[in-house]
Structure 1
């Protein structure tokens, strides 16, 4: 089954853009641009909101015709044109460039899209990402942390209900310009149940919180007077 992969750049303090939608602090060179090209080339679909889609449609499709475009920029133009796109919008009636218009983020519809053949699906834009996060639809994260603190703006990760979501670190990489990649995925079911890497099954957890068999009430340590043990227990907590 295909995965939903959230790929985004953030400031060190977690913002995807400034309060006026500024992204001038996104420093991109050829090395950094090549990374998303390599990740997105086999993608099965780009998912975006209306604003993000229109920004991309205005600039990306013909970038390879611009003599001033770098090699990775020109390469991405072809990738963007060829990959199927899904734009989430309640106002657009149609969109060009191999794009399907979708009205709302409906978990059952996303599940059907994941079950279809093809490469992984990549949502973009803070608002759409927030919708996918609220529904707990994201399977993996490829976050590019920029070496800058902007103080305020739109966070990539808004507050959501549901408690902690365990993740497993898959990869880190530091680019020459100081940007750091953090790639996390969902733990495997076996790891999620408590089994450490390399084990054949989940570890049994005692009521005392540690691995092993049935919980036992701990007795006094050897070498301690029984009265001292009682005093210690009475004074704890």
Structure 2
């Protein structure tokens, strides 16, 4: 059986983007970059909500034209080759080896997991909240960066139910970014 892992960068004050939508603050040092490449390698399927998809598909297909950062140069070909799923009610099709799911999201993603697929949900908050509410996310890998944004979009939107989690790993990368890795417990707390 596969699993769904939520992979998200957040500020110390709990935001995934700043007050004006900015996402220029994550620190991708060599250790975090290596870990990210290890996590995203293999036969995983990348999962996005439409807003994050727009950001990713606007950058990664031609990342080498915009950046000479070692992480960007290493991840761009991984991103282009990986199978991807976008959850959207408005998007009908997408390029770059991408499937769009507009309806029955919980059922579709659960079926993918049941087939043995490991899905990596990148960022976002609305899709993560929806999937958390339905118990579809198995693991949360939250990377806390040393910045206070003072506002913006919170990493976790309001949930209707409490979700019990167990810390399975904490780790520091590049002496500045902290990974908090939690797995969902069997029952809601």
In the superposition, the TM-score normalised over structure 1's length comes to 0.71
Aligned equivalent of 1:131: 130
Alignment deviations for residues 54-95 of structure 1 (CA, whole Å, 9 cap, x no partner): 2212211233x4495233322211211121111112222211
Higher strand share: 2
Aligned equivalent of 2:177: 179
Aligned equivalent of 2:50: 50
Matched residues in 2 for 1:121 and 1:31: separation? 23
Q: Does 1:108 align with 2:107?
A: yes
Change (3 A) 1:162 1:51: closer
SS in 2 for 1:172: strand
Aligned equivalent of 1:210: none
SS in 1 for 2:34: helix
Q: Does 1:146 align with 2:149?
A: no
Aligned equivalent of 1:21: 21
CA contact (8 A) 1:44 1:121 kept: yes
Change (3 A) 1:67 1:134: closer
Instruction: Give the Å deviation of 1:151.
Output: 2.2
Aligned equivalent of 1:10: 10
Alignment deviations for residues 30-52 of structure 1 (CA, whole Å, 9 cap, x no partner): 33222211101125211112222
Matched residues in 2 for 1:19 and 1:134: separation? 26
Matched residues in 1 for 2:22 and 2:147: separation? 13
In the superposition, the TM-score normalised over structure 2's length comes to 0.88
SS in 2 for 1:114: helix
Aligned equivalent of 2:93: 94
SS in 1 for 2:54: helix
Matched residues in 2 for 1:98 and 1:168: separation? 34
Larger Rg: 1
Aligned equivalent of 1:122: 120
Count residues with an aligned counterpart.
186
Which structure 1 segments of 5+ residues have no match? 193-237
SS in 2 for 1:180: strand
SS in 2 for 1:62: helix
CA contact (8 A) 2:15 2:153 kept: yes
Higher relative contact order (CA 8 A, sep 6+): 2
SS in 2 for 1:136: coil
Change (3 A) 1:42 1:176: same
Which structure 2 segments of 5+ residues have no match? none
